[in-house]
Chain A
């Protein structure tokens, strides 16, 4: 084969190579097993300490790390501002403020993690405290969460995954609320 193995960059470390190969094998096996039950991929992140959330990948355009968010005069508190996304303006909402939690923007790191979600013609950036990664869940494992007060058009959550202690967000609903 003419193309070199990308793992070649790791050098001749046998241990690392063995580990990677084992992981690759596991992942491959996982994929084979996932065929039987339908698993929904989601982006896993947290808001503040200990509150983990997820957004199904079907609504996620991408995740970005932006150094600055331009503030918009007169905008409501949850709207942090706008960012330039490949030449188009994208509004960014602080999800913590949106959920009525205290903002941690004051102690934010140099880069803001933003999950870009879209539904229909609308796209919006959700600023989160930290991205954890991508994961999958079985949709039948979802249990309904408590109905939050003040949610007029129905719940913004798809449900809860009790085993992982996370709440799965309904991005379409959130977009609808914000863009209404």
Chain B
């Protein structure tokens, strides 16, 4: 891009500057005269000199390319060189001379002809012209020397000017490009990522421009991506904040729950201590119960022995009652015999009475005896009846006694069985009590261990509580950081937004 502010390739020199430059190379009026005097010497050879120049030129393809690219030709170059040489020996080295020479420098700069070439040209001219001077003043070496000196001075001035102009031109071009690029970069900096820089002719600068354009494109893409990323980041940070809020709430709840758990645990610990005391009391009671149970077992064993002896006695009683019953039977038989005897006696007395009655008065005394005998027989019969009744009573009583004894025996059997069962139960009970005692010991141990475990849990709970508090704090910190991150992402989006407003 061209700008009006862009500096010109040419530059003007003030009279003082011109004077200073001339003075610096030691060029004075003498030199100007000497050069004017030299022209007639050089003029006849101008064509040859220019030809030689062009020949030398054509030996270097690069130079021909430059000439062709500049839209010029060798012929035009020759004409220019002729003019140039004529002016060099013109004798007038004022403002016009300086301007012409600067113009040459501008042209050189424009067509890309570097100082290495045209300084070489000066060398060629000097090489060709000095011999002409030397030959002309073959006899006057001092005059020749003056002319050569003047030539050297003007060549130095010319080359100085050309180089100066060239350098100025190059510098001007560079500063122009720099100006363009600065403006471009300023616009880019303002966020106009759509703009592209115009490429200058200088390949290196053009390369830089291309790179700048590429960079802008990349920057634009990056800005787009950054914008999108910023948006994504914003939403992510929003989510994260929400999550952190939720987590914060959850952590608070958790902390509250853990606090509650801790206090509950303290209660449990107290209860556990009570339980331990109770378990120890239980253990003591179980031990007492055990000794009681063993005494109970002994008592049961004694009761079984007693029962056995009772059974033996009952059996004895039963045997005796059976014997009594048998004896009663025997007595019954005896009374039956007595009864029968009484019957017979009665019959006998009756017969005696009959005989006595038949005997009349003689049998009267006998009749009395017979009556007495009959009476006795009847009495003994009655006695046997009574005995029989008593015997029957005894029989009934013994029968009942036998039954009762049998029942008693059965009862004793049942009692023995019961006591044996009781003994078994007592045994099992003692076993159970012993086991219970052992169990209660184990319970005491377990409860003690549990107490220790609960203490450990309580400690762990306290640590958890602390950790939860830290977690709450760190959640708060996370939240704070997330807030900051959100601010940062917002900031980032803002910063990117200026690059996007012309999208």
* Interface positions of A (Cβ within 8 A of B): 6-7, 10, 20, 23-24, 27-28, 31, 41, 43, 57-58, 60, 62-65, 111, 131, 133-134, 136
A62 CA to B367 CA, complexed, in Å? 15
- Known A-B contacts: A43-B350, A57-B357. Give 11 more (CB < 8 A): A20-B372, A23-B372, A24-B372, A27-B371, A31-B364, A31-B368, A62-B354, A63-B351, A65-B347, A131-B350, A133-B374
B227 to chain A, nearest CB (A): 144
A140 CA to B344 CA, complexed, in Å? 34
B358 touches A58 (CB 8 A): yes
A134 touches B353 (CB 8 A): yes
Which of chain A's residues have a CB closer than 8 A to the CB of B344? Answer: 65
B376 to chain A, nearest CB (A): 8
A58 CA to B354 CA, complexed, in Å? 9
B350 touches A63 (CB 8 A): yes
Which of chain A's residues have a CB closer than 8 A to the CB of B369? Answer: 6
Q: Considering the complex, give the chain B residue whose CB is closest to the CB of A34.
A: B364
A63 CA to B364 CA, complexed, in Å? 19
Q: Could you say which of B343, B353, B374 contacts A111, with CB atoms under 8 Å apart? A: B343
Which of chain A's residues have a CB closer than 8 A to the CB of B343? Answer: 65, 111
The 10 closest A-B pairs by CB, nearest first: A41-B357, A134-B353, A57-B357, A62-B351, A57-B354, A63-B350, A60-B354, A65-B347, A27-B368, A31-B364
Q: Mark B267-279, 1 if CB is under 8 A from A, else 0.
A: 0000000000000
B357 touches A134 (CB 8 A): yes
A124 CA to B462 CA, complexed, in Å? 134
B368 touches A43 (CB 8 A): no
A111 CA to B336 CA, complexed, in Å? 13
| CB of B375 closer than 8 Å to a CB of A | yes
A43 touches B354 (CB 8 A): yes
B251 to chain A, nearest CB (A): 117
Q: Considering the complex, give the chain B residue whose CB is closest to the CB of A62.
A: B351
Name the interface residues of B249-273: CB closer than 8 Å to any CB of A: none
Which of chain A's residues have a CB closer than 8 A to the CB of B350? Answer: 43, 63, 131, 133-134
A61 to chain B, nearest CB (A): 8
Which of chain A's residues have a CB closer than 8 A to the CB of B353? Answer: 41, 133-134
B461 to chain A, nearest CB (A): 107
B358 touches A57 (CB 8 A): yes
A-B contact pairs, 25 of them (CB 8 A): A6-B372, A20-B375, A24-B368, A24-B372, A27-B371, A28-B368, A41-B353, A41-B357, A57-B354, A57-B357, A58-B358, A60-B354, A62-B354, A63-B347, A63-B350, A63-B354, A65-B347, A111-B343, A133-B350, A133-B353, A133-B374, A134-B350, A134-B353, A134-B354, A136-B357
B384 to chain A, nearest CB (A): 15
User: Interface size (B, Cβ < 8 Å)?
Assistant: 18
Which of chain A's residues have a CB closer than 8 A to the CB of B368? Answer: 24, 27-28, 31
Which of chain B's residues have a CB closer than 8 A to the CB of A10? Answer: 376
A120 to chain B, nearest CB (A): 17
Q: Considering the complex, give the chain B residue whose CB is closest to the CB of A44.
A: B350
Which of chain B's residues have a CB closer than 8 A to the CB of A62? Answer: 351, 354
Among B354, B364, B375, max chain A CB count under 10 A is at: B354
B278 to chain A, nearest CB (A): 87
Which of chain A's residues have a CB closer than 8 A to the CB of B354? Answer: 41, 43, 57, 60, 62-63, 134
Which of chain A's residues have a CB closer than 8 A to the CB of B375? Answer: 20, 23
B44 to chain A, nearest CB (A): 217
A31 CA to B347 CA, complexed, in Å? 22
Q: Considering the complex, give the chain B residue whose CB is closest to the CB of A31.
A: B364
A52 to chain B, nearest CB (A): 16
Q: Considering the complex, give the chain B residue whose CB is closest to the CB of A109.
A: B343
Q: Considering the complex, give the chain B residue whose CB is closest to the CB of A60.
A: B354
Name the interface residues of B210-260: CB closer than 8 Å to any CB of A: none
Which of chain B's residues have a CB closer than 8 A to the CB of A6? Answer: 369, 372
A111 to chain B, nearest CB (A): 7
Name the interface residues of B367-389: CB closer than 8 Å to any CB of A: 367-369, 371-372, 374-376
A131 to chain B, nearest CB (A): 7
B43 to chain A, nearest CB (A): 215
Which of chain B's residues have a CB closer than 8 A to the CB of A133? Answer: 350, 353, 374
B336 to chain A, nearest CB (A): 10
A152 to chain B, nearest CB (A): 30
Which of chain B's residues have a CB closer than 8 A to the CB of A27? Answer: 368, 371
Which of chain B's residues have a CB closer than 8 A to the CB of A58? Answer: 358
A136 CA to B350 CA, complexed, in Å? 13
A31 CA to B344 CA, complexed, in Å? 26
Name the interface residues of B337-363: CB closer than 8 Å to any CB of A: 343-344, 347, 350-351, 353-354, 357-358
Q: Considering the complex, give the chain A residue whose CB is closest to the CB of B371.
A: A27
Which of chain A's residues have a CB closer than 8 A to the CB of B371? Answer: 27
Q: Considering the complex, give the chain A residue whose CB is closest to the CB of B364.
A: A31
A64 CA to B350 CA, complexed, in Å? 10
A92 to chain B, nearest CB (A): 16
Among B344, B353, B374, max chain A CB count under 10 A is at: B353
Which of chain B's residues have a CB closer than 8 A to the CB of A131? Answer: 347, 350
A131 CA to B354 CA, complexed, in Å? 13
A10 to chain B, nearest CB (A): 8
B359 to chain A, nearest CB (A): 10
Which of chain B's residues have a CB closer than 8 A to the CB of A65? Answer: 343-344, 347
A45 to chain B, nearest CB (A): 10
A136 CA to B354 CA, complexed, in Å? 11
Q: Considering the complex, give the chain A residue whose CB is closest to the CB of B347.
A: A65
Q: Considering the complex, give the chain B residue whose CB is closest to the CB of A131.
A: B350
A110 to chain B, nearest CB (A): 9
Q: Considering the complex, give the chain B residue whose CB is closest to the CB of A28.
A: B368
B383 to chain A, nearest CB (A): 12
Q: Could you say which of A7, A20, A64 contacts B347, with CB atoms under 8 Å apart? A: A64
A63 CA to B344 CA, complexed, in Å? 11
Q: Considering the complex, give the chain B residue whose CB is closest to the CB of A56.
A: B357
A114 CA to B371 CA, complexed, in Å? 20
A123 CA to B64 CA, complexed, in Å? 215
